[in-house]
């Protein structure tokens, strides 16, 4: 049986825990065939990001044309875009209807705190997103308001949906919610709180990338958005749990994408 093809448009992580590398691992772990378009090359590891080299918009467009001209892509996720010009190139493809089931992960700041993107770049893509997956810091940057509680997550998700995306998931892995990891899904006139036990671990590098990639795989398989988001949350919870005792790198390590532990 031919596997479903999913596309990631994101930056490279030389440490392998986030970005293109994490996305392709998630696609493979969940049974999809992964294709990729690089937007930037980074020098990074578990301790931080040492350098970022954005690629030219033309190079991004050429990669897109090559992949989309040959593969039947069923869903697309974006991560680090780097510059507004690159975002414009991706938005042009979305506007033309070439990026089905688009999941936008607005990568603005790495786990280490290094700034990887600009708000203007993300805003160019949000109107075309079936699902956008900001964490609390990214939701705050996009809405211009604090997002530090579950109540503020709900308000931010509703505000972002009003501005373009069909659905928004504000992920709350860093919010103190009585031992739970609470995400807020808004869209279609409803708001849903997704709860799971908080996984106590320093190994969380690439959590947002992995979550959005898993959503894209499930959308490609035909799931409705709520089901896709729920399945992605369960997958990430398992991946965080599996890597709790790993010793890969000296900083925030990667997730257990393949269920090795």
What is residue 108's predicted lDDT score, i.e. its pLDDT? 81
Token pair, residue 50, equals 């040492």
What's the rounded Cα separation, in Å, for the pair 198 and 208? 15
What's the rounded Cα separation, in Å, for the pair 185 and 194? 7
**Which of 62 and 178 is assigned the larger pLDDT?**
62
Q: What is the pLDDT of residues 201-254, one digit of tens each?
A: 999 999 999 999 999 999 999 999 999 999 999 999 999 999 999 999 999 999
The arithmetic mean of pLDDT across residues 131-149, rounded, is 94
The arithmetic mean of pLDDT across residues 112-123, rounded, is 70
What is residue 107's predicted lDDT score, i.e. its pLDDT? 85
Token pair, residue 173, equals 């892995």
What is residue 110's predicted lDDT score, i.e. its pLDDT? 57
The arithmetic mean of pLDDT across residues 26-46, rounded, is 97
Q: Is the pLDDT of residue 115 over 60?
A: no
Q: Is the pLDDT of residue 136 over 90?
A: yes
Strand partners of residue 37? 9
List, as own/partner pairs, every contact residues 16-19 make where C-beta atoms lie below 8 angstroms and the sequence separation is at least 24, other chains included: 16/254, 17/46, 17/205, 17/206, 17/249, 17/252, 17/253, 17/254, 17/255, 18/79, 18/110, 18/111, 18/205, 18/206, 18/208, 18/209, 18/254, 19/79, 19/80, 19/206, 19/209
Q: Which residue has the tokens 């005792």?
A: 245
Q: Is the pLDDT of residue 177 over 80?
A: no
Considering only the C-alpha atoms of the chain, give the largest distance between any 2 of them, rounded to a whole number of Å. 49
What's the rounded Cα separation, in Å, for the pair 239 and 90? 29
**Which of 221 and 49 is assigned the larger pLDDT?**
221
Percent of the chain with pLDDT over 90: 85
The arithmetic mean of pLDDT across residues 75-88, rounded, is 93
What is residue 112's predicted lDDT score, i.e. its pLDDT? 52
Q: Which residue has the tokens 């958005």?
A: 225
- Name the DSSP letter for residue 254: B
What is residue 25's predicted lDDT score, i.e. its pLDDT? 98
Q: Is the pLDDT of residue 174 over 70?
A: yes
């Amino acid at each position: 049986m031919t596997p479903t093809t999913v596309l990631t448009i994101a930056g490279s992580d030389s440490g392998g825990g986030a970005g293109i590398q994490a996305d392709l691992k998630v696609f493979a772990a969940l049974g999809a065939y992964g294709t990729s378009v690089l937007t930037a090359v980074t020098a990074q590891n578990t301790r931080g990001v040492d350098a970022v080299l954005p690629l030219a918009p033309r190079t991004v467009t050429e990669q897109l044309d090559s992949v989309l001209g040959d593969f039947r892509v069923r869903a697309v996720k974006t991560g680090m875009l780097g510059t507004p010009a690159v975002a414009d190139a991706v938005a042009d493809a979305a506007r033309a209807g070439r990026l089905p089931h688009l999941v936008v992960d607005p990568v603005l700041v790495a786990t280490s705190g290094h700034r990887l993107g600009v708000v203007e770049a993300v805003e160019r893509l949000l109107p075309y997103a079936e699902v956008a997956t900001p964490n609390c810091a990214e939701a705050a940057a996009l809405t211009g308001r604090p997002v530090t509680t579950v109540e503020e997550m709900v308000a931010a998700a509703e505000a972002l949906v009003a501005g373009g995306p069909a659905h928004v998931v504000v992920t709350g892995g860093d919010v103190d919610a009585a031992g739970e990891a609470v995400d807020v899904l808004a869209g279609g006139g409803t708001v849903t709180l997704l709860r799971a036990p908080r996984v106590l671990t320093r190994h969380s590098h690439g959590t947002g990338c992995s979550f959005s990639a898993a959503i894209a795989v499930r959308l490609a398989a035909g799931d409705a958005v709520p089901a896709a988001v729920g399945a992605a949350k369960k997958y990430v919870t398992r991946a965080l749990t599996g890597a709790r005792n790993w010793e890969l790198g000296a900083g925030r390590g990667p997730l257990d994408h393949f269920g090795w532990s």
